[in-house]
Structure 1
């Protein structure tokens, strides 16, 4: 006779009770009967209490380590500011938890490498919320690349640009807490999407230029006001990543840049058989001077965060499903660091 015993839900805790914890992590966890949100930790106890109350009977803590020790969750979401990702991920892994961490992985490649090794030692899943790769557009294009439909992709251009979109909340303009500006906040997303579609080719060298021309003299934009006197991040960064296979990836990213569009978040790929634009997916080539569409979606998939969270949970539950894993997070962190180093020194960085 088949057993009808119901297994207990996996116990979930969240460290960092800001907007992404609310709108992405907690809201997803509470859609599932096989998960139970049991605790929220934040240095501001009132913030932890507010999030806990919105999603049921979770406990509120202002000490993540004490929460991990007393509550003993199975899964932890790390949604704290960038500077604290390393500390909180390592604590959660040491407590025997699977971890879903917001981007970027950490502040340095060395930290991301330690986090990767710690996950391997603990035998736990460490995933990162690089959610754009989970759009159906990205999944379809990755398969088309694997099938050879684009041929050899030799030029990729990733853009994460805002005309005047400096965040007026949080610590996004504080380099010490955030690690940087639009590259580590926005550009990292399109960088990951591009690398995923390309299959993470090995990198040969990196060059870059960064600029701080607007954020220190303006104070208002699309996302509210900021203080120019405490603006310590770049306005924009432009880099080129050269791969050992001969291809290049050009990355353009900005909080503030005098362009026509209010924002651009997209990646284009040029292969010797066809080209593609990622959001929404459009694959095309040339037919005697005329553009020919080979595949096209009318709108881009907007359930990327949901699919990212779902993939992580299914992976934790043992399904062989793709996630943005610890090793790929380490590679992305290494590229971010190399781009910043190249921009600061004006020299090519070899990897």
Structure 2
């Protein structure tokens, strides 16, 4: 049984990490968040310590190190995006391996910094890249790998996850803290595209706003038109009023169904990490580089049919 601490225990994604710790037969020993709406801990690990000040959390974890039987093995991180790098570094310096939510960090330079801290501490960082474990994605990857080396597929990626007015009032609506829509809700999709279709060759942004973004990515084996949104008005008529989320990937006009099976992927990710098959810093580099470039470039109007089919709704 491994002993875990969790940073960001009141966050949206934290319960999936708590359940993954429980379902892999391990123990949540300590948790921290500046907010105290963490009652879910009672149904998962009622004996867990809980802190609302980072200093007290860190001091408690440091004191646990004195007893080998009590020391933490892992720190899981679900805090706001802009705090990932310092929280990862803190976990490593506590003598723990670290499991962190996406996006791992916003820039390749911060990946380099974490590589140095890994070297200094002898501990590892693992990123939750859950779509790499989705069966439909694995099937598509195998199919693409079996084709001719010069094959390029026509791909359209659409992800709309409706969010209410709270979103823009939270840290997620602050680009300095979330790094924008494309990074916050899109980074694991960009990782998935690289995982399936190879190295990125072109990266063009057609639209970037507070609630949505769109662009074109060309990989070794695919030309991808992508659209990401948190705006419910972008939902297609087929799901409007029925669902608040719409995920779609079409490859050469054929829909790849991957809407189901998301809720268990964190547990699968934990199982793989604990078995020594987790995805580390270098595995995350490609998607970090992709979103870093998306934030940096100036949007341009699409050319040569490279625009996503939803773009004509708001770009003229």
Give the whole-Å Cα distance in 2 for the aligned partners of 1:160 and 1:115: 30
Question: What's the CA shift string for 1:312-334, capped at 9, x where partnerless?
Answer: 2222xxxxx3x332112222111
Partner of 1:269: 251
- Residue of structure 2 aligned with 1:251, choices 220, 226, 247: 226
* Structure with the higher fraction of residues in strand conformation: 1
Q: TM-score, normalised by structure 2?
A: 0.78
- Residue of structure 2 aligned with 1:205, choices 202, 215, 235: 202
Aligned partner of residue 172 in structure 1, secondary structure: helix
Shift of 1:69: 1.6
Give the whole-Å Cα distance in 2 for the aligned partners of 1:91 and 1:305: 22
Shift of 1:47: 4.1
Aligned partner of residue 158 in structure 1, secondary structure: strand
- Residue of structure 2 aligned with 1:39, choices 26, 30, 52: 30
Evaluate the alpha carbon distance shift between residue 247 and residue 132 of structure 1 in structure 2; reply closer, same or farther with a 3 A threshold: closer
Partner of 1:278: 256
Evaluate the alpha carbon distance shift between residue 300 and residue 330 of structure 1 in structure 2; reply closer, same or farther with a 3 A threshold: same
Aligned partner of residue 207 in structure 2, secondary structure: strand
Shift of 1:151: 7.5
Give the whole-Å Cα distance in 1 for the aligned partners of 2:108 and 2:300: 18
Partner of 2:175: 175
Evaluate the alpha carbon distance shift between residue 12 and residue 304 of structure 1 in structure 2; reply closer, same or farther with a 3 A threshold: same
Counterparts of 1:1-351 in structure 2, within 5 Å, are 9-20=1-12, 22-33=14-25, 35-44=26-35, 46-47=36-37, 50=39, 52-54=41-43, 55-61=45-51, 62-63=53-54, 64-72=57-65, 73-148=72-147, 152-162=151-161, 164-166=162-164, 168=166, 170-181=170-181, 183-198=182-197, 201-212=198-209, 234-243=210-219, 245=220, 247-256=222-231, 257-260=233-236, 261-262=239-240, 263-270=245-252, 277-280=255-258, 300-302=260-262, 303-315=264-276, 321=277, 323-343=278-298
Shift of 1:307: 1.6
Give the whole-Å Cα distance in 2 for the aligned partners of 1:17 and 1:339: 30
Shift of 1:247: 4.1
Evaluate the alpha carbon distance shift between residue 65 and residue 205 of structure 1 in structure 2; reply closer, same or farther with a 3 A threshold: farther
Question: What's the CA shift string for 1:234-277, capped at 9, x where partnerless?
Answer: 2211122234x47433221111253424432232334xxxx754
Give the whole-Å Cα distance in 2 for the aligned partners of 1:130 and 1:167: 28
Give the whole-Å Cα distance in 1 for the aligned partners of 2:268 and 2:165: 25
Instruction: Show structure 1 runs of 5+ residues with no match.
Output: 1-8, 213-233, 281-298, 316-320, 347-351
Q: How many residues align?
A: 282
Evaluate the alpha carbon distance shift between residue 191 and residue 277 of structure 1 in structure 2; reply closer, same or farther with a 3 A threshold: farther
Evaluate the alpha carbon distance shift between residue 277 and residue 190 of structure 1 in structure 2; reply closer, same or farther with a 3 A threshold: farther
Preserved CA contact (<8 Å) 2:99 2:125: yes
